[in-house]
Structure 1
Amino acid sequence: MNKYNKILIICVALLLSSCATYTPQYKVENFVQTLPNTTIEKTFYLVGDAGNAKMNESTKGLSILKKVLDTAKTKDDYLIFLGDNIYQKGMPEKESSERALGEHRIDAQIEATKNFDGDVIFIPGNHDWYTNGVEGLRRQERYVNKKIDNKNAFLPTKGCPIESMEISDKVHLLILDTQWYLANWDKNPTINDNCEIKTREKFFLEVEGELKKHSKKTILVAMHHPMFTNGIHGGKYSFDKHIFPSKKKIPLPVLGSLAAQIRSQGGVSTQDLSNVHYNKLMRRLSTMTRDLDRVVFVSGHEHSLQYIDSDGLKQIVSGSGSKVSSVSLGKDGLFAYPGQGFAILDVYKDGSSNVRFFGNDNGNPKLVYQTIVHHKEKEFDFSTIKNSFEPEVLASIYNKDEVKKSKLYQSMWGDHYRYVYGTDIKVPVATLDTLMGGFTIDRQGGGQVTRSLRLIDKEGKRYSLRAMRKSVTQFLQKGVFKYTYLEDGFDDTFTEDLLSDFYTSSYPYAFLAVGTLADAIGVYHANPKLYYIPKHPELGKYNETFGDEIYFLEERPGKEYKNEVTFGKPDDIESTDDLLSRLRKDEKYQMDEEHYIRTRLFDMILGDWDRHSDQWRWARFDTKNGKEYRPIPRDRDQVFSNYDGILMDVVKFVVPLVRKFQVYDGELKKVRWINQSGLPLDRTLTQNSGKETWIEQAKYIKENLSDTAIEKAFTNLPDNLQDETIEKIKRDLKLRRDNIEDIANRYYTYLSKHVIITGTDKDDLFEIFREEGKTTIKISRIKGDKKQKLYSARSFTAKETKEIWIYGLDDDDRFVVKGKGSNLIKIRIVGGQNNDTYAIENGRKIKVYDHKSKPNTIEKKGGAKFILSNIYDYNVYDYNKYVGKTNTITPFIGFNPDDGLNINVTDVYTINGFKNNPYHSKHKFRAAYYFQTEGYDLSYSGEFVNALGNWNFLIDAVYTSENFAQNFFGFGNNTFNLDDELGLDYNRVKLGIWSFGLGVAKKDRYGNEFSVKAAFEGIEVQDTQDRLITSGLDFVTVDPVFFERKYFTNLDLMYKFESYDNDINPSRGMLFKLQTGVRTNVEDTNRTYGYIYPRLGFYNSITRDRRLVLKTDVIAEINLGDDFEFYQAANLGGTKGLRGYREERFTGESALAFNGDLRYSFNTFKTGLLPLQLGVFGGYDIGRVWLDGEDSNRWHDSVGAGIWLNAIDTIGGQLGLFSSDDGLRFTFGFGMSL
């Protein structure tokens, strides 16, 4: 076959792989048209993208909706407009000439609901954000609410991202503003002024919490952007879009196909599912909801009607209220309709649900599709469930075989408390109907590792029933693989066994001792009790995953426990989020810092490392002067942990974040690491406390935690476990108590190095006094322009504190800096919202951050550096912002004929600080060794985020040994390969290289990167005999200094866009890279040349199940001018364009290559270690080089195949065998990506 025809076939395949049509499509043609014969709980009318009515007109979609609503019984029903309520740019300002049209487009939708007797809800779409961002959204909100006369008609309110609505006992509505997530927050710096959710991660946590809370119900997740779609935003285009890409219908067949290809696969628009940002959002939401029984996603965005069932996740797309676009069935589509219309979702009392889609039939509504969404709830088979039980049983957490380990295993992985988990203990048997007067199940709970049920007793008090055996899959899913659904891939694997064994590092029954210890020092605590819960009728459907094991029952502190002595008998009990919201709201809310510090020191005595924000509740006490909070710690399942073992020590050395897993002893050597989980709250809640407070509380504990209290506490543990292990824990506990002042001193020393101070959301006065080596910060409220009573004050010394961050938060704050001392502490002042005033006398080592787009008053700079910008992360306070260092080491091993076996190790050292975008700086060290040539190379690259305004600062360096090799076969497209006669070494050129470069780069979260770099490099060609390079080539012999080191300067510009739906195994994606620059020989500046290196690659799935993927790549190298060295020439071969040839096989002034692979992915399957996915590929390459003066029409090609593997998107490998005119070439590579 002609090689040009092969390229044509690839292009045609690309074009046809993403076609949609304007005809209805059904997976099953004859759908059932009768409604289920069951009682309706609630009905939802769904219509989206209805905001394109012409002036004084309605739309076809709205007209048929009105006809249905006019005749239907709609009392207590819901009608949801799913966004894009006003095209093209949302609600204009009142003065705008477009305002009347904007109002009409809302009015047309409201008019359609004139006879609707239920609740009407508008949610925002991306077009509703396009005029003034949040402010434009608020304009639409005010108009809609006033027009409908309902303050909750536009949701979520205030431009915030989430609204959670209790519809009934069986139905819940969760509304998400997905454009809030997708928006560029730096262009909307005040986006979260009125929202408690300030970060995208907090958004995910809130969504997950709401899904858990209502998991027993049918949950409708209403969001403008669909999770699944087979329309334009899902990369499906009609054929005419390849011919007429623009609205002007000008025929541009080639450009049209390229435009469709770039948008459908490249994700260049944040409004397309293929966009990396959009995809990340949906992958996270998908992972959260996969295990829930009854979730339905309802969306607009696409101008079509669709119903999709993706592995149990249900997606209704109803976005054709006023517009129409092409659509296909795609992989999981059951129905696709390219016409105006709407959907009706009925949720029934038995838990089932049904969806109907209506289209336009000459102005009348016509049922175009109907299907069951969820079947009725499955009834659990109780026939094998007992009704009577013995009062006590002997039971263990693990069975005996699980805790039997070899001596070698124990030495490598540690002893932990393994034997305790396999020891039978006597436990009382309890059933939910009789325990403590009887419980009802509220819902299933659970954190990252625990499996639990939420219970409610007869008095309305809430409890948690937690399984003593922890879940491995749950830990991996929630803690590690947040964007990849694991299903049951780790069940019955070595990894599951290893992690199950890892959990035996915590003493399982130690929490039984904590209450008595806490009482001795006045620390609040829950009162857990141990029970054996059998499978029994009262567990209902939860018998499937709960029962027949040991549990502990513990209170869930809330307002119902106001009289609980061990919670301090407070006036109320609040969550951590509520506490933090109150503290910033007004100075009348204060933390009892002494009590908090005492509790945290108690954590350290216990060795409890797991003290993140959700492990606390807060007792509120009403006082004369305001409201004071004290901590109630909960979930004491990690006390006295013993993370021993040789391999654990190695992991702790390599990965700093794992260092919180320590061996329990009497000293607590690494106080910094054990407190990593609690550090954000410690910085937030101890702002007014100096070292003396920490030492004072340490002394209190030392004096009051007596030996008698310790001995008494451990009598609460099972009798048969009162052994030497318990005695050792008690000895170490007493030693920690005796050492607690030293522990407190060491932790305070670490904590005080970096201090965060916050004001309130009201007008505050910050007075900062800088004396010799000392800084004092005082905060007062401002009322009526007058200073009020001081509510916060603390002094810092330069010896203890290296940096202070001061956040003014909201409203008009005033910052006054006085003093002329030296030896000053570095200070960052973040003004926050509104008009802040700055009067700074001594601004040395002070940086001030505030909004560029908002007014600020600078009375005096005093030499301080003011950074006025709209970078969102600079101007917003996030108490959970990670400040620290992480280190990740990833190995790689590979083989190719040129290098032989090669190994390399990459060490990435990441520093997180103030400028986390997404990190403060990153340092990458790489070392590689090549066995065939005995050469090695070392490299370093550093990136410092926003070091120059919005630009990152770059630095890199490379060094190679003199044995580092590059191939050279001569210049031209027709060179010979004499491997068989002369061996591989003949074409190897040994090069000694070093280089150093500096540059700047700008990146965004959407996949764009632009950089400018300047480099200085030195390259020396080794004079190695019996090689082509020393065989008397003309360009070598005419250069008397050819084998001496040459020095070059290089100015390089690069733009790159990269977007994949999965980084390890893409089924859709695009890479575009354009690199250009100029390089000059320092000692002979006449030898200067330019270069252009373009590259364009795509991944296109060409089957509905997305298993068969076409990967294409076009690469080129163009040198401008002839004054380059041979090792700077354009070349092809090996990993660059022609996989069947040796590296650098063809060398010239310019080069061009096309690569195409057909990749097929098999189902993921279990192995003894990890879930594994295999795939195969077949590939074809074609390319050539050009050289002035050479007459060649030859194109070189290679063909081959290979196997790839992927383990949980973290470990990957590939083997390939390609054939060319030069023979066969085998390669493999295996590595990790963390």
Structure 2
Amino acid sequence: MPPLSAQPPVSHFCLLLFGLALATTSCARRDFFQPDARIGVGSSEPLPPATDSVLTVAGRQYNRYSKFYQFFWGHHYRPVWAAPAKVQVLQLATAAPGGLKAGKPGGGFQSISMTMEGTKEREYALRALDKNPVKTLPKFLQNSFLLNTVRDATSAAMPYGALTVPPFAQAAGVPHTRPRLVYVRQDETGLGEMSERFQGKVALLEEKYDALASRTADLAGATDFKGGESVLEQVYANPAHTIDEPAFLRARLLDVWLGDWDRHEGQWDWAEFKKPDGRVRYQAIPKDRDQVYFRFDDGIIPWFVSRRFILPRFQTFKPNYGNVAGLVQQGDFIDQRGLKQMTRTDFSRTAADLQRRLPDSLIERALRRLPPAVYALEGPTLRSALKARRETLPQAAETFYLTLARKPVVGGTAQAERFVVQRYPDSTTVRVFSTAPNKVARRDSLQFRRTYFNAETRELSLEGLSGNDVFELETIGAGRPIALLVYGGAGQDILRLKGSGNRLKLYDETSDLTAAQAPRPQPPKKKRLPYDRTLDTKGR
């Protein structure tokens, strides 16, 4: 099983893996991870204080399995994890201008990471290459032999892949961090409570965008930096706050080209740009490039697990894109809300522009950032795949667009909106107007307009969230319109229905969203997110 996302999953195929793991592995290993990443002469001795670089491997434990085991569980990047790499030793006093000191621990259910604090409000992220995904399993399995298999699946990730991303992102016009490799001494105690977890490991150190002091030319004019879901809270709280959709589309197509499947809403930072008129624009900054060049389906069991009917998001990086819908699945929530106005033409033009920005010479230069031994193992393969994927990027972008167009979501805010919907036999047009007493919003009351076509869209959702919203729905002509799901949310909502209520479903918390010829509202079927509840509370 491969590394999972930020949520603690209880995978529906755990019992299957449990039985297969029993047949191919022993009991859970207490000494699964290498005690020290150093290799070569003197690697078993204490590291002299003045040492500035050492020879390391990212995780030799992944390359110790037999061919029989790999036949079932995959070859992955095992030789890369055991390949030598010369790495600088982390010296806190000189690792950044003015030195670094320990900040708060970080990481989700797998990552070993923390924040490092520099001078002038600069913040850095320190993240170990290796992971410990024990928390992705239910507690009753965390001491079983299945843990061996879950830990071993880390070998599907390319440990040094993040090093190659900055040149690509720079050329594509996508903001990016600049990670560098460091080795944490086995006797390092300057990382606070995280010292023991990092000791003897190879890690990536990179400056964050979160502090104003870290502004760079590609984000000139940014007034602040926000992380994760806080931007969605702002966007849903006020119609004057919007996501820069063309920039986000560019970043997402770069993800697709690199095969980076783990792009849920927690994998982004955001640069804030305030305008004199009070409007605020947010530009996406990708982070945590742990899953670029992911290689998973080269064993019988992971091949089966990555099928469309189980976990299609675990797509292997190959010359062809395979299941694009699965590749972008993990980012579906943020994609639906961050790309809602991007048209088919927008996807096509952006993909063509990226093709021009990613020449062969750039691909070669970026891959040369890999440690020499790693480049010797994987450089030619990755180069060939990147070139092939570049040539077919427009087709992948088309599939990405159609995936989002199948079940789009149009969301309101915590303030009052008027949703005007005209349903035709072959299309549905949605307009959203702000009716809240907000000077910025009133300056341009039309917030959204788009036409969805039956040939592309199967189901359309409208989310009112908070505020006293009005839904004006008109069905014009006979036929079978696009299925429409209306979520009233909190507040005293009004439904005005003209024509047929065919293929219309209503969901409302207070059941006040009713009209003649309309179905009876049902309780919301969607899982509520933290900021949804916050907005609903504010709107009451």
For Structure 1 versus Structure 2, the TM-score category normalised by the shorter chain is 0.7 to 0.9
1:546 is aligned to: 198
Aligned counterpart, 2:300 = 646
Q: Deviations over 1:1155-1185 (max 9, x none)?
A: xxxxxxxxxxxxxxxxxxxxxxxxxxxxxxx
Task: Find out whether 1:619 has 2:271 as its counterpart.
Answer: yes
Deviations 1:1002-1061 (A, max 9, x none): xxxxxxxxxxxxxxxxxxxxxxxxxxxxxxxxxxxxxxxxxxxxxxxxxxxxxxxxxxxx
2:126–2:206 CA contact under 8 A, matched in 1: yes
Contact preservation (8 Å) 1:830, 1:874: no
Pairs within 5 Å for 1:586-735? 586-625=238-277, 626-643=279-296, 644-653=298-307, 656-723=309-376, 725-735=378-388
Cα 1:709/1:402, change in 2 over 3 Å: closer
Name the residue aligned to 1:417.
77
Match of 2:188 among 536, 551, 571: 536
Question: Hey, what does 1:789 align to over in structure 2?
Answer: 445
**Distance apart, 1:398 and its partner CA:** 2.1
Answer yes or no: is the 8 Å Cα contact 2:471–2:494 preserved in 1: yes
- CA–CA distance in structure 1, aligned partners of residues 450 and 283 of structure 2: 21
Matches within 5 A, 1:101-180: none
- Shift of residue 387 of structure 1? 6.6
Q: How does 1:854-1003 map to 2 (within 5 A)?
A: 861=516, 863-867=517-521, 871=523, 873-874=524-525, 878=529
Cα shift at 1:724: 5.1
Unaligned runs of 5+ residues in structure 2 are 1-5, 9-44, 533-540
1:414-493 pair list within 5 angstroms: 414-436=74-96, 437-471=98-132, 475-477=133-135, 479-481=136-138, 484=139, 489=143
Change (3 A) 1:543 1:385: farther
Distance 1:866 1:650 in 2: 42
**Offset of residue 771 of structure 1:** 2.3
Counterpart CA distance in 1 for 2:392 and 2:526 is: 41
Give yes or no for contact 2:426–2:454 (8 Å, CA) kept in 1: yes
Letter matched to residue 134 of structure 2: L
Q: Aligned equivalents of 2:226 and 2:194: distance in 1?
A: 29
* Within-5 A mapping of 1:785-824: 789-821=445-477, 822-824=479-481
Q: 2:225 aligns to what?
A: 573
Q: How has the CA–CA distance of structure 1 residues 802 and 765 changed in structure 2, closer, same or farther, with 3 Å as cutoff? A: same
| Counterparts of 1:702 and 1:800, CA distance in 2 | 25
Amino acid at match of 2:90: A
SS of the equivalent of 1:656 reads coil
Q: Which residue of 2 aligns with 1:507?
A: 158
Structure 2 contact 62–81 (Cα < 8 Å) conserved: no
CA RMSD of aligned residues (A): 2.7
Q: Distance in 2 between matches of 1:875 and 1:743?
A: 29
Q: What is the deviation of 1:619? A: 1.0
Bigger-Rg structure (1/2): 1
State the shift of 1:788 in Å. 5.6
Q: Residues of 1 paired with 2:152 and 2:372: CA distance?
A: 24
- What's the counterpart of residue 390 of structure 1? 51
Q: 1:567 to 1:515 in 2, by over 3 A?
A: farther
Query: 1:663 Cα shift?
Result: 2.2
Q: Partner amino acid for 2:117?
A: I
Is 1:831–2:482 an aligned residue pair?
Answer: no
Mapped to 2, the partners of 1:780 and 1:816 lie a distance apart of 11
Q: How many residues align?
A: 482
Q: Which letter maps to 1:460?
A: E
How many Å apart are 1:419 and its aligned residue?
0.6
The aligned runs of 1:292-303 (5 Å cut-off) are none
CA distance, structure 2, for counterparts of residue 749 and residue 537 of structure 1: 51
Q: 1:845 aligns with which of 461, 486, 503?
A: 503
SS state at 1:464 partner: strand
Change (3 A) 1:423 1:776: same
Distance change (3 Å), C-alpha of 1:704 and 1:715: same
SS in structure 2 opposite 1:642?
Answer: coil
Task: Find the aligned partners of 2:156 and 2:403 in 1 and give their Cα distance.
Answer: 27
Output the CA distance in 2 between the equivalents of 1:802 and 1:815: 20
Give the AA of the match of 1:532.
Answer: Y
The answer to which structure has the higher helix fraction is: 2
Cα distance change on mapping 1:510 and 1:839 into 2, 3 Å: same
Please say which of residues 725-734 and 495-504 is displaced more in the overlay: 495-504
- TM-score using structure 2 length: 0.83
Within a 5 Å distance, the mapping from 1:325-336 to structure 2 comes to none
**Structure 1 residue 575 displacement after superposition:** 2.0
Task: Write the letter of the residue equivalent to 1:866.
Answer: R
1:768 aligns with 421
Structure 1 unaligned blocks of 5 or more:
1-201, 206-383, 882-1234
Q: Distance in 1 between matches of 2:272 and 2:76?
A: 39
Query: What's 1:355 paired with?
Result: none
Q: Give the C-alpha shift of residue 538 in structure 1.
A: 2.4
Instruction: From the superposition, tell whether residues 386 and 419 of structure 1 become closer, same or farther in structure 2 (CA, over 3 Å).
Output: closer
| Native 8 Å contact 1:517 1:713 kept in 2 | yes
Shift of 1:537: 4.2
Q: Percent identity?
A: 27
Deviation at 1:512, TM superposition (A): 0.6
The CA deviation at 1:651 is 2.9
| 8 Å CA contact retained: 2:259, 2:293 | yes
Counterpart amino acid of residue 490 in structure 2: Q
* CA gap 1:395/1:782 in 2 versus in 1, 3 angstroms: same
- Checking the alignment, whether the CA contact within 8 Å between 2:486 and 2:507 is kept in structure 1 is yes
Q: 1:498 aligns with which of 115, 126, 149?
A: 149
Tell me if the contact between 2:320 and 2:389 (Cα under 8 Å) persists in the aligned partners: yes
Summarize the alignment of residues 1039-1188 of structure 1 with structure 2, pairs less than 5 Å apart: none
Query: 1-side partners of 2:378 and 2:104: how far apart?
Result: 37
Q: State how far apart, in whole Å, the 2-side matches of 1:824 and 1:709 are.
A: 47
Structure 1 residue 572: deviation in Å? 1.1
Q: Residues 686 and 532 from structure 1, CA distance in 2 versus in 1: closer, same or farther, beyond 3 angstroms?
A: same
- Between the aligned partners of 2:220 and 2:381, the Cα distance in structure 1 is 32
> What is the rounded CA distance, in whole Å, between the counterparts of 1:548 and 1:876 in structure 2?
41
Q: Is 1:431–1:536's contact at 8 Å kept on the other side of the alignment?
A: no
- Report the alpha carbon displacement of residue 810 of structure 1 after superposing the two structures with TM: 1.4
Task: State the 1:405 CA deviation.
Answer: 3.1
Deviation at 1:463, TM superposition (A): 1.4
Q: Per the alignment, in what secondary structure is the counterpart of residue 291 of structure 2?
A: coil
Report the CA distance between 1:819 and its aligned residue.
4.2
Distance in 1, Cα, partners of 2:443 & 2:195: 62
Tell me, in whole angstroms, the C-alpha distance in 2 between the residues paired with 1:746 and 1:681. 17
Shift of residue 803, structure 1, vs aligned partner: 0.8
Q: What amino acid does structure 1 have at the position aligned with 2:76? A: H
From 392, 398, 409, the equivalent of 1:745 is 398
2:303 maps to a residue whose letter is D
Name the CA shift for 1:693/1:866 in 2 (closer, same or farther; >3 Å).
Answer: farther
